[in-house]
Structure 1
Amino acid sequence: MTPSIAATVQDPRLQRITTAQPYPLLFATISGAHLYGFPSPDSDVDLRGAHVLPLRQVLGLDARHETVEDSRIIEGLEMDIVSHDVKKFFNLLLKKNGYVLEQLYSPLIVQTTPEHAELKEIAKGCITRHHSHHYLGFVHTQWELFLKESPHRVKPLLYVYRVLLTGIWMMRTGEVEANLVTLNETFRLPYVDDLIARKLAGPEQGTLDDADLAFHQSEFERLRAMLQAAHEASTLRELPEDAARSGINDLLIRVRLAQGI
């Protein structure tokens, strides 16, 4: 963890912001550029988590506040906050949704509970070979965003490589790793470190020459094909384990009842 990221996680303002959320949190972690390993000094803080709605509220006709979102400057920090009620979050875990896996397993933990640790153990049985479809779809969108801009910026290109390598790694290992710096210790793509350095250097270094485009187009297609091949060769399960679904259901009941009316 770089010093800047460590400082972000330990910032007392972030602890206060988390404590002030409208519902008790099962966990809160940091996602986005800080998690991916290439935050700029002006990067906002992407706080993600799962909250527990009161029992009375979820038993009523209208289930409100299943998702809580807040995007603004709080105590001088540019915050982007998204949390889902535990039932919604748990249901997303049972689908091929890479976002919630990355949030759950983010090592940048702002708030945790014993139930968070329990959920991380259970959710290992939710990772399937079909999570590759999440990353294949996501990277297509990121590549289109990269191409649409002129001049072409380094930031969306880094997101492209982050998504591809995360997907390949998951298909090969069954593990969640969203940090591009860590991933590149295995993949050893020489241009990745250069791109990260250019993004961190500031806006004037954050664009690419047209001459670079053909190379990155080729690498995008090569790595996308590698992700597809990793999916086809993967020995991961086809569906979440029955034990994982049962464990998540039991955990949901317990955390809901513990919250009370």
Structure 2
Amino acid sequence: MKELILKRLKEIETEYDVTVLFASETGSRAWGFPSPDSDYDVRFIYMHPQDWYLAIDEKRDSIEYLNGDLDLVGWDIRKSLQLLRKSNAAMFERLQSPIIYLEQTEFREKLNQLAPAYFSPKAGLHHYLSMAFSYFKTCEASEMVKLKSYFYLLRTALASFWIIEKNSVPPLLFQDLLPLVEDRNTQEKIAMLLSMKSQQDETYLHPKEPELENYLKTILDYCECKAPEIKAHKGETEPINQLFRETLFEIK
């Protein structure tokens, strides 16, 4: 699959006259709990030639390619850096991905060095906590629950808990969030479900897990209670402006 992904990225570069600066896997494959039939969710940052950025009209700043189980979505470098300044959670997840398909090494290194200065705990918590409550409602309402829904709920709830407890960017890998779970029974239940998910397809419906749901509701209520204490943060614009200019003039 990696060869196909690289082929498609090269085709995108030719078709749109862009340079792909960075491409990584996101979604369940990057989070560490894929199903056998999980899609490949590839996200990339690209750059146009210099003159593209000198026009007065707004232009399309994203590229999408969807075909079967291959889902590629790219953001222009300017859009990507604007979103980083806003502490966009997706940007932090893409940079943490353990599965890298393509990269301009110096660009990625500079972006990784800058990124922590733009993380806003308040924005991150709002992102993950709102998603977690939405997933919880989906799970709570069903007697047979999609196993992937339980893991989406687990990941977003624990990411919220991480921000409350550590006031930092939550790790992308699900396994790195699990030390937050101190209850042994819950640990064993999650381990069992992880093993099951690696063997079942995306449509698998699992019998309701009331104890797991109760545990996660306790986590969500705690995070919601602590949310007003979490502070907002906004990084300076000039460092990412500098990265934008350097990349634009250095990478052809």
Give the TM-score band, short-chain normalised: 0.7 to 0.9
- The 10-residue stretch of structure 1 (196-205 or 214-223) with the greater mean CA deviation from structure 2: 196-205
- For normalisation by structure 1, the TM-score amounts to 0.81
Of 219, 225, 229 in structure 1, the residue corresponding to residue 221 of structure 2 is 225
Count residues with an aligned counterpart: 241
Encode CA deviations 1:16-70: one digit per residue, 9 max, x unaligned: 2333323212211100010111111211110012111223223224333301111
Which residue does 1:142 correspond to in 2? 135
Percent identical across equivalent pairs?
20
Distance in 1 of aligned mates of 2:201 and 2:243: 46
Which residue does 2:112 correspond to in 1? 120
Q: CA deviation at 1:144?
A: 3.2
Amino acid at match of 2:42: L
Which residue does 1:191 correspond to in 2? 189
Amino acid at match of 1:126: Y
Q: CA deviation at 1:120?
A: 0.8
Distance in 1 of aligned mates of 2:86 and 2:93: 13
Which residue does 1:91 correspond to in 2? 82
Helix, strand or coil for the counterpart of 1:64?
coil
Distance in 1 of aligned mates of 2:85 and 2:202: 43
Helix, strand or coil for the counterpart of 1:152?
strand
Q: CA deviation at 1:142?
A: 2.3
Helix, strand or coil for the counterpart of 2:206?
coil
Encode CA deviations 1:189-218: one digit per residue, 9 max, x unaligned: 3322222222222149932324x2x32331
Helix, strand or coil for the counterpart of 1:20?
helix
1:239 aligns with 2:210: no
Distance in 1 of aligned mates of 2:235 and 2:125: 17
Encode CA deviations 1:155-213: one digit per residue, 9 max, x unaligned: 11100111111232244151341221232145353322222222222149932324x2x
Distance in 1 of aligned mates of 2:235 and 2:137: 35
> Which consecutive unaligned segments of at least 5 residues does structure 2 have?
none
RMSD in angstroms over aligned alpha carbons? 2.5
Amino acid at match of 1:215: E
Which residue does 2:49 correspond to in 1? 54
- Mark the CA change 1:40 to 1:204 in structure 2 (over 3 Å): closer, same or farther: closer
1:216 aligns with 2:216: no
Amino acid at match of 2:152: Y
Which residue does 1:67 correspond to in 2? 62
Which residue does 2:205 correspond to in 1? 207
Helix, strand or coil for the counterpart of 2:144?
coil
Q: CA deviation at 1:256?
A: 2.4
Distance in 2 of aligned mates of 1:53 and 1:13: 23
- The 10-residue stretch of structure 1 (31-40 or 171-180) with the greater mean CA deviation from structure 2: 171-180
Distance in 2 of aligned mates of 1:30 and 1:94: 22
Helix, strand or coil for the counterpart of 1:48?
strand
Of 112, 118, 121 in structure 2, the residue corresponding to residue 129 of structure 1 is 121
Q: CA deviation at 1:259?
A: 5.3
Amino acid at match of 1:144: K
Q: CA deviation at 1:248?
A: 0.7
Q: CA deviation at 1:224?
A: 1.0
